[in-house]
Amino acid sequence: MSTNFPTLILNFDHVYTNQNQLLSIGKLISFNNIFQVRYLCSYEKLEEFKKLIPFDYKGIKFLGKSDFHYLTYLFIRNIKFPFELVVIDHHLDFMETFEGYISCGSWIRDTVRLPFIEKVVVVTDNENISFKDNLFRKLKIIKSDINILKKYINFPIYISIDKDILDKKYIFTNWEQGMMDLDSFFNILNILSQYKVLGVDVCGEPDFNLVEIKRSEKINIMIHDIFKIYIHEKVTA
């Protein structure tokens, strides 16, 4: 593994244990001593992660199941210059949650308040998602239209990927899924890789099933290979 290219694999519930190829190109960080962080996490407990994870936005982070998608917020809150967040997800993680907590379904609500975020663009295939732009002007929803996506990108981007946007025939995650095919999925990622990519994170691992884990690993490796050169070459901040 190149020391110039940080790839972190965050292991909460052993979802990466059998992804040997992925483990060979990244640093595994285990969280055996942090509890009560699945789905939602108190802001106080959130700070405990800082003791275990180097919270640099650069490189690729594999977060585990979608249950831990809120960790994206911890990485991007350290970016101190204007940027845009592109989220690829079947869900709009913009719900309200309990006071004093952040959750996998609410973290974008925290993100749009970050001082250096210019825009949060959510690419989704979910036709049931609707949103009033005047509620938070920085949040934009795109229904998998890459041409519209290109029009929105004006700053360096951080990319957050939830594989639950994919059809179940490619991977079976532990959340309700979309119907995006792999060709469309990787076409979006390849186009995004042509911009100045600050960092990438990936969630959406399956429940424990060796067949699904191997299918997931193959997708993870393909995502990694798309971005490994671009992040290293283009990030000079």
Which domains, ranges and CATH numbers included, belong to the chain? Answer: 7-234 (3.40.800.10)
pTM, full prediction? 0.92
pLDDT reported for residue 90: 94
198-232, pLDDT tens digit by residue?
999 999 999 888 999 999 999 999 999 999 875 54
Q: Is the pLDDT of residue 135 over 60?
A: no
162-201, pLDDT tens digit by residue?
999 999 999 999 889 999 999 999 999 999 999 999 999 9
Q: Is the pLDDT of residue 4 over 50?
A: no
Q: Work out the average pLDDT over 116-137.
A: 80
For residue 116, give the nearest of 86, 157, 81 by alpha carbon.
81
Q: Is the pLDDT of residue 122 over 90?
A: yes
**Environment class of residue 20 by beta-carbon count within 10 Å: exposed (0-12), middle (13-18) or buried (19+)?**
exposed
